[in-house]
Structure 1
Amino acid sequence: MSTFEEGFAATERAADSVLQALGDVSRLARQLQRDARAGNIAAIRRGTARLEESLSLIRQQVGNATQAWPFAPEEELAYLQDRYASELQGEAKKEGLQLFERDGRLIAHPSVLRVLPGERAVRIDRRQSSSIRPTKIVSDLAKLQHSSPRFRPQPFLESLYSAYLALSQSDTGDRLKLGGVGQVVRLDRIYGLFTGLPGAQREYSQLDFARDLYSLENSGVSEVRSGARVSFPASTGTRNPRGTISFVGPNGEAVLYYGIQFSGVSR
């Protein structure tokens, strides 16, 4: 079976051939127009014969183009489910782009890619696209690595703080205002609060959440507007997969998160 990249390339070549044949017809039609204006009967006869030949070629090229894509619908679905991710990783390797698999998704740091077989689409971070040619996907991921990050650390930190207070003891906010230290809250509980609405986890996966935690940690932003500072205690939870949230660092290293804690700053 062909790869998707081979299928897209074959279809592109077939379309190019149609365009070239159409260009030939256009050129012959312009010549026929000039011959008619000049009243050259012999040239008109030659031109119409050539147009007829070109029309036959166009029919052939159009037929080739309509048959160029080698996958039936059920084969597309199976390929996207079973082979597409491996093809993306192979194309990424050719271009020197590191693409790691984690929890059924692909990570080209810091972007998270999810394949959507039923929709013939991919979702990169929160943007869904039906353009799934592997070389294009790899190019897009490489550009994202070198573009300015869209992640906004301060609003995300404020959202974490609001969820943290909602899940903490009722006096935590007052304690932090006095410079105290809050309790450790498991991050999977924070994620659960973030995605409590139906369908929310499909739009914002736990891996997306882990990426945002990693981006926050590396942004240098650690203090909310009220002055409380965040930390991410490992606790014993990182030695037990249950309750941990994982991501992949730039070089493929596992990054584990377990809890979140805020400490107050006396002012």
Structure 2
Amino acid sequence: CVRAFHVCLTTELLPEMQCGRNVYDVRQVCHEQNVVDCFDFSAPQAFLNDAQVQKALGVPVGLAWRPCNLQVDSAFVRSGDYMSSTDGLVAELLERGVPVLAYSGDTDLMVDWLGTKGWMEKLAWRGQADWIAAPLRTFHVHNKSAGREKSYGSFTFLQVFESGHLVPKDQPEVALRMLQRFVSLHSDWAAAPPTALPSGSKDLGLRTQSPGPRTQVGPAFWAGLSALLGALCLAWALRLQKWEEPEGPYSLMT
């Protein structure tokens, strides 16, 4: 897995970076050694370094937030996890009826939309043949073309137009519409999986269960869930930071 990372870095990313392009958004020129420095994170940095916000999140006094922690990132690469395949986990989610959405900005080289669509087409699950056969449709926001979508069962791909890696930053309204549609109780992106194996599909032998009726929840539930997930991510990052840099600033990886 470490070798795979080096191959990807030397053959795909470094040539682009040496040309002065931002691998997270090829429309942008970037000559910084750390590509994160080519983005403006002043707003989230001011918010997450606000004393009241840090107190609410339980951040130890004296720690400062920064967009990216290269020590944590390097440890992640050295562990071999950076290039480990998790497609089997995605397949199991689909077999259990859990909705899965994968999206990419069309100017992102780091997680390019062609690669995203490619692994989704090759993913072995009971709906694979039907997903491949599903049409590629226009994704509309305010009656304007904002991307292209492809969906079958509970598996959805979305290519976002005019966006790099940071879709909520580049296309905030599109990102909001994407999330609203994904979590909607009546979303066509969250249809139940097929009950019978389509012709040509593979039975992975995974445990399956009926998704059952979906519980009616309101906006307060989603707001609470979002806050909880954010707190868990922060706690996880702080734990890693404590292990790597006992006296340094805290950080969330981008």
Q: TM-score, normalised by structure 1?
A: 0.22
Higher relative contact order (Cα pairs below 8 Å, separated by 6+ residues): 2
Q: TM-score, normalised by structure 2?
A: 0.23
Higher helix share: 1
